[in-house]
Every structure is written in C-alpha cells, then in structure tokens.
Amino acid sequence: MASLLRAATWGLFLWRGYCSRGTKGELSKGFVEALKAVVGSPHVSTAAVVREHHGHDESVHRCQPPDAVVWPQNVEQVSRLAALCYSQGVPIIPFGTGTGLEGGVCAVQGGVCVNLTHMDRILELNPEDFSVVVEPGVTRKALNTHLRDSGLWFPVDPGADASLCGMAATGASGTNAVRYGTMRDNVLNLEVVLPDGRLLHTAGPGRHFRKSAAGYNLTGLFVGSEGTLGLITATTLRLHPAPEATVAATCAFPSVQAAVDSTVHILQAAVPVARIEFLDEITIDACNRYSKLNCSVAPTLFLEFHGSEKALEEQLQRAEEITQHHGASHFSWAKDAEERSRLWQARHNAWYAVLALRPGCKGYSTDVCVPISRLPEILVQAKEDLNASGLTGATAGHVGDGNFHCMLSVDPEDPEELRRVKAFAERLSRRALALHGTCTGEHGIGLGKRQLLQEEVGAVGVQTMRQLKAMLDPQGLMNPGKVL
C-alpha cells in the first residue's frame, strides 16, 4: 500500500533527481549531424549527463532531459537552429543559467535544448541614454561589474546570478523592485528569434526610447513569456544612476502583523525606500546559523535607502519613527559597504539557510503577490496555515510590492508530507487570488501553476493567450507544456 501511495504521489510532485525520457524519442543521426553543421560538432551533445543537467532547474519538478543540447555562438546560428527544428517538428527549449523555480526548462516532449550562455557579449552601452544591450549569456552581476566605473547600474536582482535575457523571459524581480521596478519596467527592446527562425526586434532594430505609443506593445508580450513564444537573443535594458549614498537597516518586531503594518505605513508615508524585505522568525533563525548573523530571532524587516547624504538623514529618521510606532526593537543601521553586502547576501541565501534546517531534505518554494493593503492578512494566514499543516517552512519576501515567498523543507520519501505541501501551496495561491492578487509574483507559471493561471485570468484570458501562442507558434514546438 505504501509503495502504491508513493507512486501516486510522485505523479503529483516529482523531484528532479528522478529522470524521465522525452516522449518524442531519440533524434535521428542525420538530424544531429544537421545540428552540428549549424554550430559545429563541439557545440552539440547527446551525452546523457549533459542532457540530464539541462532537463531541470532549481524547482521540485523531475528532470525531463532534452534529446540534444546545442550551444550557438551568435544570433544567426540561433535562427538557423530554430528553422531546422521547426521544419522537422522538433521541440525547442531555451536554456540560460537553469535557476528557475517552476520547471521552465524541463523538456516534457524531448527535443533540442538551446543553451545560450556562449553568447555573452555586452553589445552596446549608451551612458547618456541610460541603456545597454546584452546577449543571453550576460548575467546581472557581470553587467554591474562592467558598469562599475560608469556611474550606472542595473538594479533588478533575483537571488540567483541569472542571465539577463532569462530574467526578461521570466519577468524576474527582486529586492529592489519597490523602487526600481521589475524586468517589465526595465526592458526597452528585445531581439527575438521566432520559432520558425525569423528575427524580430520588438521595438524596432536598434531602438532604445523610454516611451512609445506606436502600435502593440510587443516587448511586453515577450517579457514573461517563459520561452514559449521565441528565443530571446539580446535585450536592451534601462539603466539607473548609481546612488550617491546607501544605508541599510534591520529592525525586529513583536509580530508578523506589526512588521507588515510598518511596511504599509512606510509606503503610505512616501518614504522612498529602495528595499524593504520581510523575514519571519524561522528565516531569521536560519540566516543567523547559515550566514553567521546576530539578529534578534523575531519577525524582521531589512531596509535599504538610496540618495544623497542629506536626503538619507530625513529618510532614516522618518523610517525609524514609523517602525518604532509599530513596536520595532533592535534597530540597527549598516552604513559600511562590507556590512551591507553581508546583510543582503544573507537575505539572498535565505533559501539555502532554510534548507539547512533539515539536512537531507529537499526544498520547495512558492510565491504569491497581493495588493499592499491585503498583505498583513495573507501573511498572517500563511503562517497559521503552515503551523496547522505541520510543515517545516518559513516566509520571506519583497513586502514593499506585496510579493512574498514560502520556503519549505520536505522529505521526498514521505508521500503524506508531499501531499500536504502541494495542498498548502494551492491554498496559498487561491487565497491570493481571492484577495485580488496573483498566483505568482516572480517565479512564473512554468509547469506547476497552469491551472492557477486559468483561475486567475479566466476562460477568455486563457483563450486569448492560446490564440497568441498559436499565431506565433502554430506547431506548438516552443518550450511545449509550459504556461498553457
């Protein structure tokens, strides 16, 4: 009975350590040779270990490897690869750094994985226009290193050092979104290879304007499309002036409600906070152990302010007054760059810190986003639901824009625990929908939230998305099985 239950559970909640074959079968020798003719033999692999590496991301979804992996060196090769695959009815799966959290790179029908990391040039920097053009292999850290002496920076920062084109494809966000916005706010143009090999510039070749009323917003269509409409081969990004001065702070609260109420109050008071992150007491305890912090084990806010020295004084004073009004204690400022870096590195490592609470277990992370006014309600309910479910988990998030994550440690050999995790995640998403929020603020739909997307946008919304997909990808070969 136990083995039957476990088998049934794996069908619902499959872990990446278990590797399955694509349903398309192996590619013909002639087709593999044709791939090699496009990119060169060293840049094509059908080795099992390579395919398995490209068949999963950081999510809980099982590994589903492609039939081959290719590494194009330029956009012309990407175009030829797409045309070749499309002419033969072979699925195409884009791959960046593999740091997604919803199974977006799983090759559910086999096919060819197009690893774009060898295209890693910064093509054009326009400091006077605050824009830059980068290829898919450029990561956010590499770009900011390149910009170090320019007085500019790119602020969108998901925890991983992800590919910037991959971040565009998933509509990524991060800790700076409350002030600088998400990828949707910072992508000006995209170069996209369509499924049949045609090349599209969503705002026109070489254009990097800040606003336009010219026709449909094609850039917005492809940002967040999760590789289902085309392969992004370059993105033009909006850059921002590096702040003159930066100060970070932490403060502990007597309850989750008090911490989130303080967040709402800070935003309503128009304090121009750059980052405002919530970590519950479990996350703080985990970060203390993992990152060697010494924070009070209580619901906590991490804050950061950018601006001139004079402006920061006013911001800090007002923020401290508001947080103290809501019962904050252990208020600590970090002005030194090294100390600030240590603080935010600990925040970005919260996922690994929570996993370390249960050695040998796997991790599951889900996220939702709600209107700011409903944030205290859903966070408190999520904490109560976690406790009632008997699950080991923590909450943390970008509360400045209503987005938070639940991070759970799970025993993959315990089918009942797996079921409780899946049920909790679905309840959380539906609770967010009931509060006029979204089932995902930044992880994306991928494999895991397709039903929830239908509940969120409704039948007409899904039908419209499917019509757009069918127009651009009539054979359904572009990253099949994702989103819709």
**Local structure of residue 108 (DSSP, 8 states):** B
Q: For residue 352, give Cα distances in angstroms to 356, 361, 365.
A: 6, 11, 11
Residues 328 and 379 in one domain: yes
Range with the poorest average pLDDT among 128-132, 200-204, 391-395, 467-471 = 391-395
pLDDT tens, 294-340? 899 999 999 999 999 888 988 989 999 999 999 998 778 888 888 89
Predicted confidence at residue 363, as pLDDT, reads: 85
Residues 276 and 385 in one domain: yes
Please report where in the chains the tokens 């899904």 appear, as a residue: 462
Q: What is the dihedral of CA 293, 296, 300, 305, to 10 degrees?
A: -60
Per DSSP, the three-state class of 189 is strand
pLDDT tens, 75-113? 999 999 999 999 999 999 999 988 888 889 999 999 999
**Residue 449 covered by a domain:** no
Residues 392 and 407: their CA atoms lie apart, in Å, by 9
Q: Tokens for 6?
A: 């476990």
Q: What angle do CA 458, 379, 277 make, to 5 degrees?
A: 105
- The CATH number linked to 271 is 3.40.462.10
pLDDT tens, 209-262? 988 999 999 999 999 999 999 999 999 999 999 999 999 999 999 998 999 899
Predicted confidence at residue 68, as pLDDT, reads: 98
C-beta atoms surrounding 265 within 10 Å: 16
Residues 145 and 46 in one domain: no
Residue 429 has pLDDT above 60, yes or no: yes
Q: What is the mean pLDDT of the chain?
A: 91
Pairing of strands 245-252, 329-334: antiparallel
Q: What percent of the chain is predicted at pLDDT more than 70? A: 95
pLDDT band at 3 (very low <50, low <70, confident <90, very high): very low
The secondary element (H helix, E strand) that includes residue 306 is: strand 300-307
Predicted confidence at residue 25, as pLDDT, reads: 61
**Residue 456 covered by a domain:** no
Residue 18 has pLDDT above 80, yes or no: no
What range defines the domain where residue 107 resides? 29-117
Per DSSP, the three-state class of 299 is coil
Predicted confidence at residue 181, as pLDDT, reads: 94
User: In the listed set 241, 265, 284, which residue is the last one of a domain according to the structure?
Assistant: 241
pLDDT band at 160 (very low <50, low <70, confident <90, very high): confident
Q: Tokens for 204?
A: 């026109």
pLDDT tens, 277-305? 999 999 999 999 999 998 999 999 999 99
Residue 440 has pLDDT above 90, yes or no: yes
Predicted confidence at residue 158, as pLDDT, reads: 87
Tell me the one-letter amino acid at 112.
V
Q: For residue 357, give Cα distances in angstroms to 284, 344, 349, 407.
A: 12, 20, 13, 11
Per DSSP, the three-state class of 337 is helix
* pTM of the complete model: 0.90
Residues 110 and 132 in one domain: no
What is the number of domains present in the chain?
3
Beta bridge pairs of residue 236:
133, 189
Residues 113 and 47: their CA atoms lie apart, in Å, by 13
Cβ atoms of 57 and 101 within 8 Å: the answer is yes
Q: Tokens for 295?
A: 């924070």
Cβ atoms of 329 and 258 within 8 Å: the answer is no
**Residue 4 covered by a domain:** no
Residues 226 and 79 in one domain: no
Cβ atoms of 165 and 442 within 8 Å: the answer is no
Mean pLDDT of 400-415: 89
Residues 314 and 185: their CA atoms lie apart, in Å, by 28
Residues 232 and 256 in one domain: no
Angle between helix 75-87 and 29-39 (nearest 10): 160
Residues 15 and 100: their CA atoms lie apart, in Å, by 14
Residues 229 and 258 in one domain: no
pLDDT tens, 348-389? 899 899 989 888 888 889 999 999 889 889 998 999 999 999
